[in-house]
């Protein structure tokens, strides 16, 4: 894997049309959910903010649940700091709203997950490395399939949780797959090759429809809640990146 230095997440980022024309994205190998889940009893999903698990991993979570695996979700933060200074969407309101949105999204996917909320500071996971390693290690079982953010995703919370997951996985027998979220914002779609070893998990029409319903549950991030936020975290052009008929995982 090449050394990657993620830039700051600024501006609108790449539109989905850029990614639809990406040579390396279209050339990624395809793996079936059955082959990924085979030999595992549990799926452990590590999410830095309430919605990352759904945006990146809804299809695989749904497949795991349908295959009879236990699904466990570790939510590192409650995502309370996404609208600083907003008098309607205060940190306290977001601490209540956003975990409820996750519950609705999981229900839309048909996933009955066991959720552990750490309540660590949104935007502050880089300073919580020891706590993250401790919590992930405590929850991990040897034969788990673990999904965690890519440690070079470009958001400090994503990177910190990804680094903690790597550290724990390297000292266990668990299988770790990583997922990009903000990397779609800044990675160059026209590059000849991806800066990582990755594959595509294809989503059939039913899985994609369920994922679409699940993403729609994040009203506070989409700007569809009342009152609406003036600059939602997930405007339409960002959501498009996660409504592809496939998900991408780093092996």
- Residue 23 covered by a domain: no
pLDDT digits (tens, 9 = 90+) for 185-213: 999 999 888 878 999 999 999 999 999 99
Instruction: Look at the chain and report how many structural domains it folds into.
Output: 1
The pLDDT value recorded for residue 2 is 43
Structure-token match 């839309």, residue found: 108
- CA 94 to CA 72: how far, in whole Å? 22
Q: Rounded to 10 degrees, what is the CA torsion of 184, 188, 189, 190?
A: 180
pLDDT digits (tens, 9 = 90+) for 29-47: 999 999 999 999 999 999 9
* pLDDT beyond 90 at 238: yes
pTM: 0.95
Residue 58, CB half-sphere, CA atoms under 13 Å: how many?
Answer: 34
> Encoding tokens for residue 206?
């039913």
The pLDDT value recorded for residue 6 is 56
* Across 68-83, average pLDDT: 98
- Residue 5 covered by a domain: no
Residue 114, CB half-sphere, CA atoms under 13 Å: how many?
Answer: 8
pLDDT digits (tens, 9 = 90+) for 133-184: 999 999 999 999 999 999 999 999 999 999 999 999 999 989 999 999 999 9
- Residue 84 covered by a domain: no
List residues bridging with 44 in a β-sheet. Answer: 72, 146
- Residue 22 covered by a domain: no
- Residue 30 covered by a domain: no
CATH for 224: 3.40.50.10320
The pLDDT value recorded for residue 196 is 84
Residue 146, CB half-sphere, CA atoms under 13 Å: how many?
Answer: 27
The pLDDT value recorded for residue 1 is 40
- Residue 34 covered by a domain: no
- Residue 82 covered by a domain: no
SS3 of residue 50 by DSSP: coil
Residue (of 172, 121, 127, 126) closest to 146 by Cα position: 172
- Residue 3 covered by a domain: no
């Amino acid at each position: 894997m090449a050394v990657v230095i993620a830039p700051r997440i600024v501006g609108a980022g790449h539109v989905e049309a850029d990614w639809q024309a990406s040579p390396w994205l279209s050339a990624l190998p395809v793996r079936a959910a059955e082959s990924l889940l085979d030999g595992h009893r549990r799926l452990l999903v590590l999410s830095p903010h309430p919605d990352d698990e759904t945006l990146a991993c809804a299809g695989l979570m749904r497949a795991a649940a349908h295959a009879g695996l236990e699904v466990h979700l570790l939510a590192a933060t409650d995502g309370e700091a996404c609208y600083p200074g907003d008098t309607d969407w205060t940190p306290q309101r977001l601490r209540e709203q956003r975990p409820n949105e996750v519950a609705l999204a999981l229900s839309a996917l048909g996933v009955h997950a066991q959720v552990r909320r750490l309540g660590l500071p949104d935007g502050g996971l880089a300073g919580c490395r020891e706590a993250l390693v401790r919590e992930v290690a405590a929850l991990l079982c040897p034969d788990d399939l673990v999904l965690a953010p890519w440690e070079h995703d470009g958001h400090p919370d994503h990177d910190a949780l990804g680094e903690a997951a790597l550290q724990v996985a390297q000292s266990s027998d668990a299988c770790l797959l990583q997922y990009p979220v903000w990397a779609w914002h800044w990675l160059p779609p026209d590059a000849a090759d991806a800066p990582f070893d990755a594959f595509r998990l294809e989503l059939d029409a039913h899985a994609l429809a369920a994922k679409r319903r699940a993403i729609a549950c994040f009203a506070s991030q989409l700007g569809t809640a009342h009152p609406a936020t003036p600059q939602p975290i997930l405007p339409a052009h960002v959501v498009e990146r996660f409504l592809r008929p496939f998900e991408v995982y780093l092996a």
